[in-house]
Structures are given as structure tokens and as C-alpha cells.
Amino acid sequence: MTDNEHEIEQPDERKPKRVIGTPAPGTSMLGAAEPEAADQDVPGVTLQDEAKARKAEKIVALCFAITFLAGIAFIISYVYFQVGSPDATGTSNLALGSSLTVAILALAIGIVVWTRQIMPKYALVQERHTMTSDEEDREVVADTFLRGANESGFVKRKLLRRTLLLAAAPLGLIPVVLLRDLDNNKMPGADFHKELRHTVWGQKNKEGKPLRLVVEGTGQPIRAADFNSPGGILSVVPEGYEHDLTALAKATLILIKFRPEEIKDGTNRNWTHDGIVAYSKICTHVGCPAALYEQNTHHILCPCHQSTFDAADGAKVIFGPAARPLPQLPITVDAEGYLVAQGDFKVPVGPSYWERGDAEAEAGMKGGQA
């Protein structure tokens, strides 16, 4: 028994008396004349007790009234509370948010009470039909398809069919081709990976001298003699590139000072100066800055995925998912005693990529980093 199965009389001359889809007057449905008597005849529709419904109406009205008041409170709060400082913004957020929450919540509760205590309880039944179409309809569609296909000549005329397919092929490629210039460098795609091999440490400054190591944040160059707190760690960037994020994404260093006897063979001593070692700060796993340092153990830790490197021993991996050590930058001092790069890293920094190869082994064969 479903309401939808009811035949609804459709008078021939429709007058704007009756809204579409609603029962014609006199049928036994909700909203029809004398609903109480009629509804009792509809199985699956249980009316609410009128006394209870009257009580519920008051609750609903209270809820809606709260929504009204809270809505006004929101508008007043918007005008009254200004933003700017964190405190003022916090107050404004609290006033706006709580009035909005109360308004919406009261409205929701009101509607729920309305549905549950005033509207009837329903257990109406509707028939289901299998999704599959009738066999006849399917046959008609199949016939129509065949007829249309034959009428169009698509099947019979080979030349037409093949040239159409031919025509479609380059059209499908156009959107892909159009995306080629997503890369701003306009270089051949096969050269992309060559960019990854180098950092700005290989370049010279304006006076043609090697780049100085400067402190990240302050931009101060570092005098080797001043950096003498054993166990200390410093985040270092190249001079002149302090705000070039793309350069920093590869060239940022950590600087650590060791006592000479602490340095193990993994570290290339020729690339250190007076116990000061510079490693790439960019983790070889997926490129987070390996920013944490534990003085006692000389462990460098990447906070993203906990790759751990032994700073005293060439930053080799001792734990975590990183597969390769943090590359060491060859450093020395210039005439004024400031730390400078001897040159670029001998191996690519940061995460691995397909074209990288085992650059460490290659560099080792050429007599670089062990």
C-alpha cells in the first residue's frame, strides 16, 4: 500500500486550485479534507496524540524563538565586536560563533521535535521493481540502435570510419600538448634532472669570490673563530639567497662544530674547517629540513619521518626511512676568516629521483666523499 499507487484524478480542465502532485480533494491522504477521519484509514500513518502534539508545539516555538534571538545576537555581535588583535579577534569569534551555533542548533532541535512529536509516525510501504528494463523495451532499443547505425552508414563505409578515428587522435593529444609550458624554464624535459644536481653553492658572489655561509634569519656571515661552541648547531643559508625559497630548498645547511677527535671517517675532513662540518639540511627521504640535533649522540633527526643521521660520521643513516646520508658541503674560510663554500655539493641533495643514480658511489670513485 503506498500513497503513490493511488489514482489521482486529473480533471481535464485543470484549474489553479490544486497543486501538482498533491492529492485531489476527497482522496484519503494527508492534507485532504477531514484529515483525522481519513488518516486513520491509511495504514502505516499513525497520528500523534493531540495533547502531546500541543505540548510539543510549545517546545518547537521556544526553539524557534531562541533561533530568532540568537540570529539577532549574531548581527549585533558583528557590529559591536571589532577584530584586529588576537584578543579582539578571539572575542569576536566567540560571540559570532556561539550565537551562530545556538541559532542553528535551536532551529535543528525545533524541527526534530516537530517531526517526531507533531508529524505522524510513518511505516509506509512502497513497491520496488527490478532495475532491469522490460524485455520488449530492450529489444526495441537494440533494434533502434542497429537501424540507426546502419542508416548512418558508419558501419558500411570503412573510409568514413577510419578517417574519423584518424581525425580524433591528434585532437585527443591537444590538451596534453597544451600543458607542456607548465614548466617555466622551457628546457627539454630530459634536462630537468640536471637542474637537481646543482645548488647555488657552486656559484660565486658579485666580487667573484666563493659564497659565504650566513646565519638563517639574521643574514650574518660566520667567522670560524666565533663559532666555537662544541655541540652547537646552526642553520645556515648562502649569502645573497636569504629570501630565494627555491635556492633555499636545496642549499640550506646545518653547521656543527666537533672536537677533532670526535670526527669519524665517514666525514670528509678536507671539507671541514677547524672541526666545523656543514651538511645539507634537506632530508634525503622526502626533503623536510632535518632540523633536530641531539648533542650527546651527534644525531641529526628529521621531524617529519624520523630519519636519523650520525653527524660525526658523514651524516650516515642510522634509523628511519632515509636511504642516503645528508650530503656534506666542502667549506673553508676566506681571507677575513669567514666561512665560505669551497664549491658545490658533490652529490645531489634532497630526495632521490629516477635519474639520480648512485651519485655517492660515483663521487667516491672520483676521489670525493667516501
In the range 22-41, which residues lie near another protein by CB under 8 A? 22, 25, 31, 33, 35
* CB environment 150-169: b (16+ within 10 A), e (fewer): eeeeeeeeeeeeeeeeeeee
Integer Cα distance of 115 and 73 in angstroms: 27
Tell me the C-alpha to C-alpha distance, in Å, between residue 313 and each of 189, 203, 298, 301, 369: 37, 27, 9, 14, 12
Whose Cβ is closer to another protein: residue 44's or residue 148's? 44
353 binds another protein (CB under 8 A): yes
Q: Which of 322, 326, 333, 339 binds another protein (CB under 8 A)?
A: 322
112 binds another protein (CB under 8 A): yes
Closest distance between another protein and the C-beta of residue 166, in Å? Answer: 28
Integer Cα distance of 35 and 42 in angstroms: 10
Q: Which of 51, 123, 167, 335 binds another protein (CB under 8 A)?
A: 123
84 binds another protein (CB under 8 A): yes
Parallel, antiparallel, or unpaired for β 316-319 and 308-310? Answer: antiparallel
Q: Which of residues 266-285 bind another protein (CB under 8 A)?
A: 281-282, 285
Integer Cα distance of 356 and 368 in angstroms: 17
Q: Which of 172, 174, 361, 367 binds another protein (CB under 8 A)?
A: 361
105 binds another protein (CB under 8 A): yes
352 binds another protein (CB under 8 A): yes
Tell me the C-alpha to C-alpha distance, in Å, between residue 294 and each of 3, 63, 187, 309: 74, 59, 42, 10
Whose Cβ is closer to another protein: residue 275's or residue 348's? 348
Integer Cα distance of 281 and 253 in angstroms: 5
Whose Cβ is closer to another protein: residue 224's or residue 301's? 301
317 binds another protein (CB under 8 A): yes
Q: Which of residues 163-222 bind another protein (CB under 8 A)?
A: 179, 182-185, 189, 192-193, 195-196, 216
81 binds another protein (CB under 8 A): yes
